[in-house]
Amino acid sequence: MEDIVVEYVTELVHKAQDIGSQRGKLSVEDFLYLIRKDLPKLNRCTELLSMNEELKQARKVFESDEDKLRKVFEVDEPVE
């Protein structure tokens, strides 16, 4: 099973590189273009990309809030 998956992914990457080389770089859109006719894969990829973007934004907000809290506690703590 692993060999089949590795072979599929390798072929997909090579095809995407061929498409991306026309523009000079490889992008996510190259992979989406290759799987555009396989709707379950396309839908799953779009869902995962969307979740990835949401997680990036959540991490950014969390880190920002964490920094704000750290600054608040640094100001409130008495210096001995």
> What integer is the mean pLDDT of 11-23?
91
Query: Is 32 part of a structural domain of the chain?
Result: yes
Structure tokens at 45: 């990829």
Residue located via tokens 């599929």? 8
Please give the residue range of the domain that contains residue 37: 1-74
pTM flag (> 0.75): no
Query: Is 80 part of a structural domain of the chain?
Result: no
Those residues whose C-beta lies under 8 Å from the C-beta of residue 40, and which sit 6 or more positions away, are none
Confidence check: pLDDT of 79 > 60:
no
Name the least confident of 2-16, 22-36, 43-57, 64-78.
Answer: 64-78
Query: Is 79 part of a structural domain of the chain?
Result: no
Higher pLDDT, 7 or 19: 7
Query: Is 21 part of a structural domain of the chain?
Result: yes
> What integer is the mean pLDDT of 30-52?
96
Query: Is 56 part of a structural domain of the chain?
Result: yes
Query: Is 1 part of a structural domain of the chain?
Result: yes
User: What percent of the chain is modeled with pLDDT above 70?
Assistant: 92
The count of structural domains within the chain is: 1
What distance in Å separates the CA atoms of residue 41 and residue 56, rounded to the nearest whole number?
22
Query: Is 14 part of a structural domain of the chain?
Result: yes
